[in-house]
Amino acid sequence: VAEMVEDRDYQRGFSEIHPKTMFDELGRLQKARKTVAVILDALRQAGIDPRDTRLLDIGCSTGILTRHYAEFFGRVDGIDIDDGAVEWARQNRAADNVAYRIGDSMDMPFLTGEFDLVTCTHIYEHVPDARKMLDEIHRVLRPGGLCYFAAENRLRVWDGHYNLPFVTVLPRPLANLFVRVMGRGQRRYETHRTLWGLKRLVRAFEVTDYTRAVVRDPKKFEATNMIWPGSTKQKVANAIVTAAYWAFPTYLWILRKPQLVKGQE
């Protein structure tokens, strides 16, 4: 219980602890462009006009991504527990079709079925109870609604939160000690899952994998900052995502809330 309270406090000040990340205009916009490219592709396949949709950006923080989403989708709401970041977003990232809310992704102040789209971009590992957050995403999506879900794999060599190797794979007591000894914080706050754990986490949804598509066509999906077409890195990434998908460092999925079945209307 004490750790959960500490985790909440950590997230409430996340933008102050990590200003280089949360206020990085270029880096955040690159992330937003990739997200939009994947969502637009999914909407095209579903025959949905993006301008007719309402999108919820979970973990909106300073609103840099949220404001970019507003250029493509009809209405956009951002929510984050970091009140300082949300206030900054309201003052600096305002738009006619954007609204920001201070709130907890595990207990969101929205109606059931209120959204057509949700973005959950590298958020799950930060939340004290990722299961509750996914339940909330499922609740606020309309039947047939989509969630862009970007998730880090626990089985990864490098952890970007602390700029240290093997932090995510170590047992928590050892990870806490490692982070502390290396002067990167008091403990590891994040909780990562393996591919199998992530599949269990999203089991209420129908999953379409975009990880392979982005690796194979990074230009189409605005990912050339990570993988350049024809490069050695692309060849290695393609080999891993094909032969050892379980070991790929990050997964990009579109989650679809199933339509209501007969008798559940």
Residues 189-200 have pLDDT tens digits of 999 999 999 999
Per-residue confidence band for 15, with pLDDT thresholds at 50, 70 and 90: confident
pLDDT score, position 208: 98
Is 265 a residue whose pLDDT tops 50?
no
- The whole model's pTM is what? 0.93
pLDDT score, position 185: 87
Is 5 a residue whose pLDDT tops 70?
no
| Separation between Cα atoms, residue 158 and residue 179, nearest integer Å | 13
Rounded to the nearest angstrom, the gap between the alpha carbon of residue 153 and the centroid of all alpha carbons in its chain is: 12
Per-residue confidence band for 233, with pLDDT thresholds at 50, 70 and 90: very high
Mean pLDDT of 243-248: 97
Tokens 């250029």 locate to 71
Is 263 a residue whose pLDDT tops 50?
no
Distances (CA, A) of 61 to 11, 67, 80, 105, 253: 10, 11, 6, 12, 21
Q: Virtual CA dihedral for 54, 71, 118, 27, nearest 10 degrees?
A: -170
Per-residue confidence band for 105, with pLDDT thresholds at 50, 70 and 90: very high
pLDDT score, position 177: 96
Per-residue confidence band for 2, with pLDDT thresholds at 50, 70 and 90: low
Is 264 a residue whose pLDDT tops 80?
no
Q: List, as one string, the DSSP characters of 135-185.
A: HHHHHHEEEEEEEEEEEEBSS-SEETTTTEESTTTS-HHHHHHHHHHTTS-
pLDDT score, position 12: 78
Mean pLDDT of 146-165: 95
Nearest partner of 136 among 154, 161, 114, judged by Cα:
114
pLDDT score, position 211: 98
pLDDT score, position 212: 97
Q: What three-state secondary structure class fits 49?
A: coil
Q: Which long-range contacts (CB under 8 A, 24 or more apart) does 90-95 make?
A: 90/63, 92/62, 92/63, 93/62, 93/63, 93/64, 93/66, 93/67, 95/67, 95/70
Tokens of 136: 């909330």
Mean pLDDT of 88-102: 93
Mean pLDDT of 83-107: 94
Is 20 a residue whose pLDDT tops 60?
yes
Per-residue confidence band for 231, with pLDDT thresholds at 50, 70 and 90: very high
Nearest partner of 116 among 264, 265, 257, judged by Cα:
257
What is the residue-averaged pLDDT of the chain?
93
CB 210, CB 38: distance < 8 Å? yes
CB atoms within 10 A of CB 155: 16
Residue 153 pairs in a beta bridge with: 193
